[in-house]
Amino acid sequence: MEPRAVGVSKQDIREQIWDHMESQNLADFPRPVHHRIPNFKGASHAAEQLPRLQAFKTARTIKVNPDAPQKNARFFVLESNKTLLVPTPRLRTGLFNKITPPPGATKDILRKCATSQGVRNYSVPIGLDSRVLVDLVVVGSVAVSEKGWRIGKGEGYADLEYAMMVSMGAVSKETPVVTIVHDCQVVDIPEELLEEHDITVDYILTPTRVIATGCERPQPMGITWSKISREMMEKIPVLRSLRAREQQAGKDVTLQGEHQHLPEPGRQQAVPLSAGRRPPDTPGPEANSMEAARGSPPGEGAPLAADVYVGNLPRDARVSDLKRALRELGSVPLRLTWQGPRRRAFLRYPDSAAAQQAVSCLQGLRLGTDTLRVALARQQRDK
């Protein structure tokens, strides 16, 4: 099918695809497919093309989106003894989950691991500091063109996932991108609809064809912070950690609707906290009182840093154990103050919102058999 070309928008193309798949009974569970990456009859057959790609054969780590049409793609990655990474749904609890089937898993078990329930039951989180390298990316699409232009369901998660992988060094401009769609989803897409944050695809797999797009349009170079809203920052904790890192690196991280902050004449700029250096009058890691976690007094720069209290640490816990858990959850602080003999630690975050997000993310965290107590440092002090 071809979209109507006069004044067409991305949403017009989405609606036409969804309507066509439903009216022609091409859609598969879950239905209706509107506002989804549509599952379709023949998706399993289309996915069978994936292991035949040279890019798949040489890849060791493959990221596949969690949607239904890519279930068989996830199975083939596991069956081939490759590392499978699946983004967490809507990025609520981090960026990736690594699927780890039980030892000696049969094909039936691997198929279960490839389902949405299996992703929940057989996965471990991968944090921003994991230094993972992704060799192949598989994404879902609502529409795609033979030139490699892609349209998703309109929420921007696939584009954001890719941009986050760029920011953490997990992919490069040579990393191939594959999509698996029904033949009716391959349509002409006007190039003027593409935006700088849109990812493109190198291979399109359908039940009847393998299309090498030869796309030369550059992929996004990282997160376009001006496209990120405050609401999205609240919903996706891992974005806060990435933003803090890029802010420390001196990048412009002005959000959508914000005005870039310019220092007033004669006013001293706040210096980003870096390894081995801390602002004047800020207690060092050796501080033993709660005052060490209270941040700078008002008026000494914005935003104020905020600390998170972590208590009930196991007596034999090491600081590396906590650091590893924080990396896996995507909640790496600016600074960690370890007070092992007192079975507690303090985590410093760039602002109170980031600290509150970390508290939410770390609830229920266990080290060994002990569940840790996590709270904002000032709340814990009040108690």
CATH number of 62's domain? 3.40.50.10420
Residues 190 and 69 in one domain: yes
Say whether both 202 and 331 belong to one domain.
no
Pair (197, 327) in one structural domain:
no
29 in any annotated domain: yes
Query: 192 and 318: one domain?
Result: no
C-alpha triplet 195, 199, 203: angle, nearest 5°: 135
**DSSP annotation of 41:** T
137 shares its domain with 247:
no
Looking at the predicted structure, is the pLDDT value of residue 86 above 50? yes
**Are 154 and 132 in the same domain?**
yes
Residue after which a domain boundary falls, among 212, 236, 266: 212
Q: What angle do CA 311, 132, 152 make, to 5 degrees?
A: 100
Q: Which amino acid is at 371?
A: T
Count of domains observed in the chain:
3
Residue 239 structural domain: 225-258
Look at residue 127 and tell me if it is in a domain: yes
Residue 273 forms part of a structural domain: no
Residue 282 lies in a domain: no
Same domain assignment for residues 371 and 319:
yes
Residues 21-47 have pLDDT tens digits of 999 999 999 989 999 999 999 999 999
Residue among 225, 157, 134, 148 nearest 179 (CA): 148
Residue with tokens 């814990």: 380
CA dist., res. 246 & res. 227, Å (int):
15
Pair (233, 174) in one structural domain: no
pLDDT by residue (tens digit) across 268-292? 333 333 333 333 333 333 333 333 3
- Mean pLDDT to the nearest integer, 109-131: 85
| pLDDT per position as a tens digit, 310-349 | 999 988 888 888 888 887 777 788 999 998 888 999 999 8
User: Mean pLDDT lowest for which of 90-104, 210-224, 298-312?
Assistant: 298-312
Mean pLDDT of 82-91: 84
269 lies in some domain: no
Q: Are residues 55 and 192 in the same domain?
A: yes
Average pLDDT over residues 172-190: 96
- Give first-to-last CA distance, the chain, whole Å: 64
Domain boundary among 212, 244, 272: 212
Return d(Cα 69, Cα 164) in angstroms, integer.
Answer: 23
More confident residue, 270 or 80: 80
What value does the mean pLDDT take over residues 98-116?
Answer: 93
Q: Model-level pTM? A: 0.67
78 — pLDDT class (breaks 50, 70, 90): very high
pLDDT for res 217: 92
51 and 167 in a common domain: yes
What is the widest separation between alpha-carbon atoms in the chain?
70
Look at residue 71 and tell me if it is in a domain.
yes
- Give the domain-ending residue among 202, 237, 258: 258
Report d(CA 333, CA 285) in Å as an integer: 13
Instruction: Write the CATH number for 357.
Output: 3.30.70.330
Q: Is residue 82 part of a domain?
A: yes
3-state secondary structure of 83: strand
Tell whether 45 and 182 lie within a shared domain: yes
Co-location of 244 and 190 in the same domain? no
Q: Could you read off the pLDDT of 197-245 as tens digits, one per residue?
A: 899 999 999 999 999 999 999 998 888 888 888 888 888 878 888 888 8
3-state secondary structure of 336: strand
Task: Establish if 185 belongs to a structural domain.
Answer: yes
